[in-house]
Amino acid sequence: MFDFSIVTKWFDELLRVTCGLSNFWAVLIECVVVGLAILLAYALLAIVLIFMERKVCAYFQCRIGPVRVGWWGTLQVLADVLKMLIKEIFAVDKADKLLYYLAPFLVIIASVGTFSFLPWNKGAHILDFNVGIFLVTAISSIGVVGVFIAGWGSNNKYSVLSAMRGAVQMISYELSLGVCLISAVILTQTMQISGIVEAQTGPWQWLIVQGHIPAILAFLVFCIAGNAEANRGPFDLAEAESELTAGYHTEYSGMGFGFYYLAEYLNLFVVAGIATTVFLGGWAPLNIGLDGFDAIMNYIPGLVWFLGKTFAVVFLLMWIKWTFPRLRIDQILKLEWKYLMPLSLVILVLMTVCVAFGWTIHY
């Protein structure tokens, strides 16, 4: 297994010993480099995800999607990005300008904040706090405020309506999301993201196998709630283009809208990434207990495993989005409060019982 901490240690040595920098400057340079790497990965993944969404959507609707710009339409998204960057940014008359300009940043901060918690490889955790998974849910709740302020600041009744819907939906689904994560924490005995992944290395150690029935249920509930949390799939009522004319970001143009667009796709990726980390083993390779097979699997770097699993979950979520019809707002809230929330509490109890009696699967 390739350990990325070799690279980070080498870089640290390079700054401290070879260049002879003090602790302060070394840490500062490292922070800037890591920050740039996060933002670069964020932008690149957004482009990949938007292209993937277009193609997946097209094939589900028996079309072929974008094919004109570049080979097989590969340059289409780059052209869109360019268009978005050179659009004029203007504010609506009588809008609350301060909140109007602030809101996209809150949404993007929440998105980048949760994004930087993902474990990319062994030794390549960017933010790895003791309270990791709890902090992820905390930071993702900043996005709700951003969505609401956007609707309010736009001075548009459709936007306010959509912002209300979005906020109610996101707050509701955060609950079952959190409870599912807690049931995973019971199994791994740690909240630290690196610890959670570490607990899943080895043959048949992914949580979804280790925790069998409750873990599988928790994974399914997590995917549904995550889809709703990212305002996607059958739950994209907040932006309901046919009745609310795109909802809380109706009045945004240029990069203001671009931020929402980016955050939507990256929230999808983050939800899939957290589901992968917590239930499908993060960067942990597939080991089945046969030495030869495990050795071959361990040669594949963790980054490939992580991205492969995450994109598989992303594909699953896109499949759901383009297959199911959109729910009404009362149906969305009913689904959460009457079905998912009790179900996730039952899962929590079931998982606690399983762990307490030692009914987990250990190879």
Partner 1 sequence: MARLIMFAVLAVIILASAVFCVSTKRIMRAATALLFVLFGVAGLYFLLDYTFLGAAQISIYAGGITMMYIFAIQLVSKRTLQGLSERWLGKRTFLAAFIALVGFGTVILVLLKNEVLRHTVVNGDSLSNEVTMETIGRNLMTADKYGYVLPFEFISVFLLACIIGGLVILNNKKKEESK
Summarize as ranges the residues that interact with partner 1 (CB under 8 A): 23-24, 27-28, 96, 98-99, 102, 129-131, 134-135, 137-139, 141-142, 144-145, 148-149, 152-153, 164, 167, 171, 174, 190-192
107 or 149, CB closer to partner 1?
149
Q: How far is CA 195 from CA 110, 123, 229, 261, in A?
A: 23, 11, 25, 32
139 or 343, CB closer to partner 1?
139
Minimum gap (Å) between residue 60 Cβ and partner 1: 34
121 or 140, CB closer to partner 1?
140
The residue type of 113 is G
Give the 3-state secondary structure of residue 327.
Answer: coil
Q: Are 214 and 351 in contact (CB under 8 A)?
A: yes
Residue 134, both tokens: 């709890």
The rounded distance, in Å, linking the Cα atoms of 159 and 247 is: 5
Minimum gap (Å) between residue 163 Cβ and partner 1: 9
Q: Are 38 and 126 in contact (CB under 8 A)?
A: yes
Minimum gap (Å) between residue 191 Cβ and partner 1: 5
Minimum gap (Å) between residue 105 Cβ and partner 1: 11
The rounded distance, in Å, linking the Cα atoms of 186 and 195 is: 13
192 or 276, CB closer to partner 1?
192
Nearest to 267 by CA among 151, 142, 181, 159: 142
191 or 215, CB closer to partner 1?
191
Minimum gap (Å) between residue 82 Cβ and partner 1: 32
What letter does residue 71 receive in the DSSP assignment?
G
